[in-house]
Amino acid sequence: MSRKGKLPVVLPAGVEVKVTDLMISVKGPKGTLTQKLVPGIILNIESNQITVDVSEDTRDLNRFHGLYRSLLDNMIVGTTKGFEKKLEMIGVGYRAAVQGPLLDLQVGYSHPTKLTIPRGIHVTVDKNTQITITGIDTQAVGQFAAEVRAMRPPEPYQGKGIRYLGEFVRRKAGKAAKTAK
């Protein structure tokens, strides 16, 4: 049994959870999320709490116990508060702009790089270098943030690139000059 899986998930006011067959649906003020369930995972919905149990105590089902509890918790938090990732661009001439369904990045390549913003994700750009990605699905928000960062990851010599806000990039020393004899 998972320690994380044993903890109950608190159901806030205004959130509905429905379990049908092998699907769970969470509806909140910001939207609706659905997730498939593995056979053997049981959700017990009480007044304002949900507990996740397994039908059998087998190694295969115990692997999913804590996972589905965390997925359920993320669905509830996403439909009530939402998730947010912030990125910053460091480099001369680096800038970003939202153009309809596209995120236009200029990060030192000879051509502009355009990324399609996935459905359900909202992107805003502040000061041309601060990118904020928000949405209700934590996996989709994190995946798109990783794709944006992968366009020009921070390099260790000058520190230029796209990084998460507050991310520490370990700097390396450059080439040492050869001593004259």
Residue ranges and CATH numbers for the domains of the chain are 3-80 (3.90.930.12), 83-164 (3.90.930.12)
Residue with tokens 């959700």: 43
pTM: 0.84
Going by pLDDT thresholds of 50, 70 and 90, the confidence category of residue 101 is very high
According to the model, what pLDDT value does residue 146 have?
A: 93
For the segment 26-52, what is each residue's pLDDT rounded down to a tens digit?
998 998 999 998 888 888 888 888 888
According to the model, what pLDDT value does residue 181 have?
A: 63
Looking at residue 152, its amino acid is R
Going by pLDDT thresholds of 50, 70 and 90, the confidence category of residue 180 is low
107, two tokens: 């990060």
% pLDDT > 70, the chain = 97
CB 115 within 8 Å of CB 162: no
Query: Averaged over 12-26, what is the pLDDT?
Result: 88
